[in-house]
Structure 1
Amino acid sequence: MKLLSLSSPPPFSQALLHVPLFLFSSILLSSLLLVFLILLWRRHPKDKRLPPGSMGWPYIGETLKLYTENPNYFFSNRQKRYGEIFKTNILGCPCVMISSPEAAKTVLVSQAHLFKPTYPPSKENLIGPEAIFFHQGAYHSKLKKLVQTSFLPLAIKGSVSEIEQIVLKMLPTWKNNTINTLQEMKRYAFDVAMISAFGDKMDIEMDGIKKLYLCLEKGYNSMPLNFPLTPYRKAIKARKLLNETLRRIIERRRDSKNYGGGLLGVLLGGKELSDSQIADNIIGVIFAAHDTTASVLTWTLKYLSDNVNLLEAVTKEQEGIKMKMVGAGLTWDDTRRMPLTSRVIQETLRRASILSFTFREAVEDVEFEGYIIPKGWKVLPLFRTIHHCADFFPQPDKFDPSRFEVPPRPNTYMPFGNGTHSCPGSELAKLEILILLHHLTLSYRWQVTGENDGIQYGPFPVPKRGLPVKVTKRSKTVPT
C-alpha cells in the first residue's frame, strides 16, 4: 500500500474531497461564466464594416464610465476620437451611438421601421415586456391611441386642481427647513404619476404600490446582476409583487364596473387588453412620469437659484397671473399664459438633457452612413450631444431661456424624443412644473447649502447630493 507523503500535495482527485462542495461549484460556475462572457463580448461580427469605437470590458463594456463620468465628456470625447457615429457596449448590449440631427431623424422618423424601440433586457423585464415603449405596428398604434386619450391637453385640463392641491400641501412642509430637492421632487412627481395612472380613485393598495415601486426603481438604476441581495434581484421580486397587486386592482374595478379615471380607467374601457398588458403599461407610465420629471424640477430650481434676475422675472410673471385670477385656484388657461416660465422649462430640458439618449434596435442588418449596423444591435441617438452643439445652440453651457423666443432648428431639440414613440406625457410634465413654480416663486425663496456645483449620476444627471436647499418664506407679499 502506497502512503502519501505529508510534505507532498495529494493527487487532484483526492484534494477535491477536502474542498467544500459549494466552493468548488462556485469556482466552476464562475469559470464557465467568464468563458461565456468573453465569447459574448467577442461575438460581434468582425467581417462587417462596423463603426469605429471601443467595446470596453466583457459584458460590462463602458457602462461604468457612462454612469460615472460627466456625460458631456463621455460623449464628446468619443465623438472627437471616432466621429459622429461610433460603437460601444452598454449594459451588456453592443451599441452604435449617433450624434447628428439628420441621423437621429433617420432612426426615429424617416426609417423608424428599421429600428424598433427597445431597452436593455434587464430594464425591459422590470418595466414589463408588453409596455408601449417596446412595440411597433398594430399593438403600438392601439396602445398609443388609448394612452394619448389620457395625456392630451383635453384630458389633463381636469388635473390642474388635483396637482395644485398636492403642491399646496407639500410646500408648507419645506418652510424654514433644509430639503433634499431631488427627493422632494420625486415625492411630488410620484404623487402626480399616481393620479395620471389611477385617477382620483385611490385604492387601498396605493401605499404598498409606492413601496414596491421604490424598490423596483433602485434595481432599475443598478447594474443588472441577478444574484442574491443585489438591488436588481430585489427589484425582480418587487416587480412580481407589484404585478399581483395591480391584478387585484384591475379585477376589482372590472367586477364593480367602475373603472375610475386615469390611464387605468381608459385601458379597462378599451376591453381588448389582458391584465398583464394593462399592468405593464401602468408601470411604464409611472416610470416615464417619475424620475425624469423630478430631475428636471431639481435642475430648474438650481438654474433659477443661480440666476437671481431670471428668478425675479419669473416671479413677476407669476404675480401677473395671480392678479388676473378669477377663482381661488389656477386654471388650465392660466398655465397657458406663462411664456417666460415655459421658456425656462425649455432651456432646463436642453441644458440638463435628462434623457441623454434613447434606445432603438436594428431589426435587420442596416447600412448606415457607410457602416453596417448588425441586426440586434442597439442604436442610440444622442440627444445630449445635439442639445449641446454650439452650431445649433450658441454658448451651449450658458443658461439662456431667451434662445427659445424663436423655434429651434428641426431635429435639434428633442427632450421628449421624436417620431411615433415620442413621450406622450410631455404636456403633463410641463403642467406639473408650471404649477409648482407658480406657487413656489410667489411664496418662497431657496438657497443652495454646501457646494453649489457638481453633478451626480444615478443614472440621470442631477445636481450633487440632490441639491440640498434652505427654504424660507418670501418677504415680499403677493398683490391681491
Structure 2
Amino acid sequence: MDISPMVLTLGLGFLLLAVFLLKKKPSSGINLPPGSFGWPLLGESLEFLASQRDNACYDFMEKRVKKYGDTFKTHFLGAPMAVFYSPAGNRFLFSNENKLVQTSWPSSLAKLFGNSILTKVGDEAKDLRKTLLTFLRPEALQNFVGRADTIIRDHLTRYWVGKEEVKTFPLAKRCLFTVACALFVSLGEGPEQDELYDHFMDLINGMLQIPVDLPGTLYRKSRIGSNHIRRILQSVIDKRREDLASGLASSDQDLLSYLLCNVDGRENPLSDSDINDNIMQLLMAGHDTNAVAVTLLLKYLALNPHCYRQVLQEQLNITRENGEKQLQWDDIQRMKYTWNAAQETLRLNPPAGGTWRKAIVEISYGGFTIPKGWKLFWTANSTHKNPKYFPDPDKFEP
C-alpha cells in the first residue's frame, strides 16, 4: 500500500513534536504544583471531557486531590493549568481578579463566541456587563414574567399534560430556549427558531472539545453551527433596525432593541458584531445550564417525596390565590421553599462546576509558583461538598 510523502512528513512532524513536548520540562527551576500534564498535546483533556459526559467531573477532581493535594497541575485543551480545589483557593482567585488573574476561557470557547461578555476582560468587561445588567435588572424583568408564564404553560399543555412518560431534559431545553428567544430577540416558535435551536445544539455539543478544526470533528461542527447562528441573528438584527426606524418596534421590547438603541459604558454604540456575539452567548446561557438545573431539581424532588410535597403545597397556595391569572413577579417572591429547593439542587450539582482564569503575572500560592500565562481553574464543589460547611454534603436538604 502506497503512503504519500505528505502523509509521512506530517506523521513524522507530529511524532517529533510529541517527543519534544514530552521531554520538555516547562517552567523548570520553579516549584510548580504537583500533578501530571498527561499526554503530549492532549494533556488530560480526554479524561476530563469524558468525566463531564458521564457527570463525573467531581470524581475527576477528587481523584487528583487525594493524590496531589488541593492545588495541582494538569493540562487541558492545549494549555497548562493549575486547579484550586479549596474554599481558600477560590477566595484567592476572586479577590485578585484583574490584579493577578483575569477571566479566561479555553481557546475553543473564545474562538466560538467572539466579542461576547464571555471573552471580555478588565474595563471592557465591566462596561459591557453594566450595559447588559441594566436590561436584565429585576425591575426590567418583572414586565416579562407574564410572557414567560404563557410560553411555559403552553409548552406543558402540549408536551407534558396527559403523558405517561416524558424525557425531561430535552423538553426543558426546548422550552427554556423558547423563553430565551422571546426575552432577548422576540423570536417566536416556528421554522426560524427551529433552525436556530438545531444550530445551538451543534454549537453546544462541540464547544468543549479538543479544538481540532477538521472535517468530521465535533469542534468543526460546533464552529459551523456558530456561523449559522450569527447568520440568522444578523437577519433578525437587520429586520429589527428597520422596525425601530418605522415605529413597528419599541426600544424596550427586548434585549435586542435595548442594545440597538443604547450605548456601551464608554458612550459608544455597540457594533452589529458585538450585539450578535452577546445575544448568541446569552441565548446559550439562558437555556442550556438552566435546563440542567430544572431537570436535576425534578430528579431530587422525585427522590425526596417530603420535599416534593412542600414544593407542591407552596405552588397550590399561590395558584389558589392567583386563580387563572398570569404569574406575577410578587408570586415568584413568595416561592420561598421552591427557591430553597432550587438552590440546594445547584449546590449538589452546579451545572457549571467551575470556570477558568489566567495568570497575568507570576503567582505564588500555597508554597507553589504559577507561571504567568497559565490557566487556573476554580471549582464550586470544593465548597459545596465540603463537610465543614455542609455536615451531610450529599444530602438534599432545602
Flag whether TM exceeds 0.5 (same fold): yes
Whole-Å Cα distance in 1 between the matches of residues 299 and 129 of structure 2?
A: 34
Deviates more, 1:42-51 or 1:314-323: 42-51
Matched residue, 2:48: 66
Please say if residues 87 and 382 of structure 2, whose CA atoms lie closer than 8 Å, have aligned partners that are also in contact. no
SS in 2 for 1:297: helix
**Amino acid corresponding to residue 264 of structure 1 in structure 2:** L
SS in 1 for 2:286: helix
**Amino acid corresponding to residue 85 of structure 2 in structure 1:** S
**Amino acid corresponding to residue 138 of structure 2 in structure 1:** P
Identity of aligned residues (%): 31
Whole-Å Cα distance in 1 between the matches of residues 66 and 308 of structure 2?
A: 36
Deviation of the 1:187 alpha carbon? 0.8
Does structure 1 residue 94 correspond to structure 2 residue 80?
Answer: yes
Q: 1:250 to 1:80 in 2, by over 3 A?
A: same
Q: 1:111 to 1:370 in 2, by over 3 A?
A: farther
Structure 1: gaps of 5 or more residues:
1-17, 402-480
Matched residue, 1:378: 375
Deviation of the 1:157 alpha carbon? 0.9
Matched residue, 1:292: 289
Please say if residues 107 and 115 of structure 1, whose CA atoms lie closer than 8 Å, have aligned partners that are also in contact. yes
**Amino acid corresponding to residue 31 of structure 2 in structure 1:** R
Whole-Å Cα distance in 1 between the matches of residues 301 and 163 of structure 2?
A: 19
Matched residue, 2:105: 119
Does structure 1 residue 144 correspond to structure 2 residue 92?
Answer: no
What are the Cα deviations for residues 398-453 of structure 1, in whole angstroms up to 9, with x where unaligned?
1111xxxxxxxxxxxxxxxxxxxxxxxxxxxxxxxxxxxxxxxxxxxxxxxxxxxx
What RMSD, in angstroms, separates the aligned Cα atoms of the two structures? Answer: 2.2
Whole-Å Cα distance in 1 between the matches of residues 29 and 283 of structure 2?
A: 43
What are the Cα deviations for residues 343-390 of structure 1, in whole angstroms up to 9, with x where unaligned?
000100001122111111111212222211112111111112221011
Whole-Å Cα distance in 2 between the matches of residues 144 and 48 of structure 1?
A: 37
Deviation of the 1:226 alpha carbon? 1.6
Matched residue, 1:19: 2
What are the Cα deviations for residues 229-275 of structure 1, in whole angstroms up to 9, with x where unaligned?
22211222222232232223223322433456322222212241111
Matched residue, 2:266: none
Matched residue, 1:28: 9
Matched residue, 2:253: 261
Does structure 1 residue 168 correspond to structure 2 residue 134?
Answer: no
SS in 2 for 1:116: strand
Q: 1:388 to 1:203 in 2, by over 3 A?
A: same
Whole-Å Cα distance in 1 between the matches of residues 171 and 293 of structure 2?
A: 12
Aligned pair count? 381
Whole-Å Cα distance in 2 between the matches of residues 26 and 185 of structure 1?
A: 46
SS in 2 for 1:178: coil
Whole-Å Cα distance in 2 between the matches of residues 311 and 285 of structure 1?
A: 31
SS in 2 for 1:359: strand
Deviation of the 1:31 alpha carbon? 2.6
Whole-Å Cα distance in 2 between the matches of residues 57 and 335 of structure 1?
A: 49
Deviation of the 1:113 alpha carbon? 2.8
Deviates more, 1:58-67 or 1:80-89: 58-67
**Amino acid corresponding to residue 108 of structure 2 in structure 1:** S
Deviation of the 1:316 alpha carbon? 0.9
Q: 1:46 to 1:291 in 2, by over 3 A?
A: same
Whole-Å Cα distance in 2 between the matches of residues 122 and 155 of structure 1?
A: 33
Please say if residues 77 and 209 of structure 2, whose CA atoms lie closer than 8 Å, have aligned partners that are also in contact. no
Structure 2: gaps of 5 or more residues:
264-268
Whole-Å Cα distance in 2 between the matches of residues 209 and 95 of structure 1?
A: 34
Matched residue, 2:232: 245
Bigger Rg, structure 1 or 2? 1
Whole-Å Cα distance in 2 between the matches of residues 334 and 368 of structure 1?
A: 46
Deviates more, 1:149-158 or 1:197-206: 197-206
SS in 2 for 1:89: strand
Whole-Å Cα distance in 2 between the matches of residues 236 and 100 of structure 1?
A: 34
SS in 2 for 1:179: coil
Q: TM-score if structure 1 supplies the norm length?
A: 0.75
Q: 1:27 to 1:261 in 2, by over 3 A?
A: farther
Matched residue, 1:338: 335
Whole-Å Cα distance in 2 between the matches of residues 199 and 246 of structure 1?
A: 12
SS in 2 for 1:133: coil
Whole-Å Cα distance in 1 between the matches of residues 281 and 19 of structure 2?
A: 33
Whole-Å Cα distance in 1 between the matches of residues 270 and 16 of structure 2?
A: 42
**Amino acid corresponding to residue 80 of structure 2 in structure 1:** P
SS in 1 for 2:388: coil
Q: How do residues 75-94 of structure 1 correspond to structure 2 at under 5 angstroms?
A: 75-94=61-80
What are the Cα deviations for residues 151-196 of structure 1, in whole angstroms up to 9, with x where unaligned?
2111111121111112211212222242221111111221122123
Matched residue, 1:191: 178
Whole-Å Cα distance in 1 between the matches of residues 69 and 360 of structure 2?
A: 24
